[in-house]
């Protein structure tokens, strides 16, 4: 049996698969960021807090209203999305004519406020959320034990990512959206309600973050800081993929998940930094990101 750098192939396959699973979270989150940046030109630093909200909303639905995992997979993103629509209408809309930096600061402040509110109410150590009964247990793949829930995470995120890409790149609605980004005045002249499109896009991006949050609730600790820990990595993913590139966000999300997974085997201490090292290299070689267009 061959060994690669002292790691038996079984272990390697296992780690590749795990990397893919973590990559699914990066992909959905960075996709939401890319959609929002692409169409609103807002660097949405509230994204991590909105991911956390998704997990907490599904906890609240279960414990306060008795609504289980499957309905909350749809409901939590809708609730979070509505909160996003309110934020966009009340606050973000006033910043479109200003520099990126203002949007970044506003959303960063909002993230701190939301996290603070949740911490104040729920504490910082987290809340329990069980894996739904249908997805407990797992498959023995020979080289590793794959929990059913993780397989579901990969499938669900792939479907959501591809559907989003399809809607934006291949449908009439997506064409309107892209037109609105390209030239809002002209698009509006054709009778398309551009402000509404933008509001709904932000709501959708927030919904994506919350969807990732619901997926994460049964396997990660549901606590107010869960998004803050992840969001910095996700921003690095977006920068590597190219700000605003839909396909770039998806491909880099999965790809970096795998690279990070491999680092956890070969040099675990560096696994928290490897993505930033790659980011630095990419920024040096291709400042617009791997899939980005230079303006």
Partner 1 sequence: MTTFRMNRRSVLAGAAATAFSARSMAQAQQPITIRIGVLNDRSGLYADLTGEGSAIAARMAVEDFGAAAKGLNVQIVSADHQNKPDIGANIARQWYDNDAVDVIADVPTSSVALAVNQITREKNKIFLNSGAATSDLTGSQCSPNTVHWTYDTYMLSQGTGGAMVKAGGDTWFFLTADYAFGHALERDTSAVVQRQGGRVIGSVRTPFPGTDFSSFLLQAQASRAKVIGLANAGGDTVNSIKQAAEFGITAGGQKLAGLLVFVNDVHALGLQTAQGLVLTETFYWDLNDSTRAWSRRFAPQRAGNMPSMVQAGVYGSVLHYLKAVAATKSKDAAQAMAWMKANQTDDPLFGKGTIRADGRKMHPAYLFEVKKPSESKGPWDYYKLLATLPAEEAFRPLSANACPLVRA
Judged by CB under 8 A, the residue of 219, 232, 259, 290 near partner 1 is 219
Mark residues 267-286: x for contact with partner 1 by CB under 8 A, - for none: -xx-xxx-------------
223 binds partner 1 (CB under 8 A): yes
Q: If binding means CB under 8 A, how many residues of this protein chain bind partner 1?
A: 40
Q: What whole-number distance in Å separates Cα of residue 93 and Cα of residue 42?
A: 10
User: What's the Cα-to-Cα distance from 38 to each of 201, 205, 262, rounded to whole Å?
Assistant: 10, 11, 31
> 293: phi > 0 → left, psi -120 to 50 → alpha, else beta; which?
beta
Helix 226-241 and helix 47-65: axis angle, to 10°?
140
What are the tokens at 227? 């998004």
Residue 260, helix vs strand vs coil: helix
Rule CB under 8 A: say whether 226 interacts with partner 1: yes
Please name the residue ranges forming H helices in 8-97. 9-40, 47-65, 69-90
Using the rule CB under 8 A, give the single segment among 19-27, 43-51, 204-212, 240-248 that binds partner 1. 19-27
Distance in Å, CB of 294 to partner 1, minimum: 34
- Of the candidate spans 56-64, 77-85, 122-130, 158-166, the one that interacts with partner 1 by CB under 8 A turns out to be 122-130
Q: At what angle do helices 172-182 and 9-40 cross, to 10 degrees?
A: 60
Longest dimension (CA), the chain: 67
Segment lying near partner 1 (by CB under 8 A), choices 120-128, 198-206, 241-249, 285-293: 120-128
Which residue do the tokens 């150590």 mark? 125
Residue 47 within binding range of partner 1, rule CB under 8 A: no
Interface mask (CB under 8 A) for partner 1, residues 159-198, using x and -?
----------------------------------------
Does 231 bind partner 1 (CB under 8 A)? Our answer is no
Binding residues for partner 1, rule: CB under 8 A, are: 11, 14-15, 18-19, 21-22, 116, 119, 123-128, 130-131, 137-138, 144-145, 147, 149-150, 219-221, 223, 225-226, 229-230, 261, 264-265, 268-269, 271-273
């Amino acid at each position: 049996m061959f060994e690669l750098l002292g790691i038996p192939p079984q272990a390697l396959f296992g780690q590749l698969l795990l990397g893919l699973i973590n990559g699914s979270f990066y992909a959905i989150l960075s996709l939401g960021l890319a959609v929002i940046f692409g169409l609103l030109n807002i660097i949405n630093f509230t994204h991590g807090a909105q991911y956390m909200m998704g997990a907490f909303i599904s906890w609240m639905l279960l414990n306060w209203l008795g609504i289980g995992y499957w309905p909350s997979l749809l409901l939590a993103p809708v609730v979070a999305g509505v909160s996003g629509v309110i934020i966009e209408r009340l606050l973000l809309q006033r910043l479109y004519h200003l520099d990126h930096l203002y949007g970044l600061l506003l959303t960063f402040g909002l993230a701190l406020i939301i996290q603070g509110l949740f911490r104040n109410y729920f504490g910082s150590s987290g809340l329990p959320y069980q894996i739904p009964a249908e997805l407990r247990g797992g498959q023995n793949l020979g080289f590793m034990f794959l929990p059913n829930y993780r397989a579901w995470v990969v499938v669900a995120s792939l479907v959501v990512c591809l559907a989003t890409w399809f809607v934006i790149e291949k449908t009439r609605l997506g064409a309107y959206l892209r037109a609105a980004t390209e030239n809002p005045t002209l698009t509006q002249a054709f009778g398309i309600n551009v402000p509404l499109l933008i509001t709904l896009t932000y709501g959708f991006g927030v919904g994506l973050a919350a969807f990732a949050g619901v997926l994460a609730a049964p396997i990660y600790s549901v606590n107010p800081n869960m998004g803050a820990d992840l969001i910095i990595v996700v921003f690095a993913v977006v920068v590597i993929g190219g700000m605003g590139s839909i396909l770039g966000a998806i491909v880099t999300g999965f790809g970096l998940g795998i690279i990070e997974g491999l680092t956890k085997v070969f040099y675990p201490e560096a696994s928290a930094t490897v993505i930033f090292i790659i980011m630095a290299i990419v920024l040096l070689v291709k400042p617009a990101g791997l899939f980005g267009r230079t303006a």
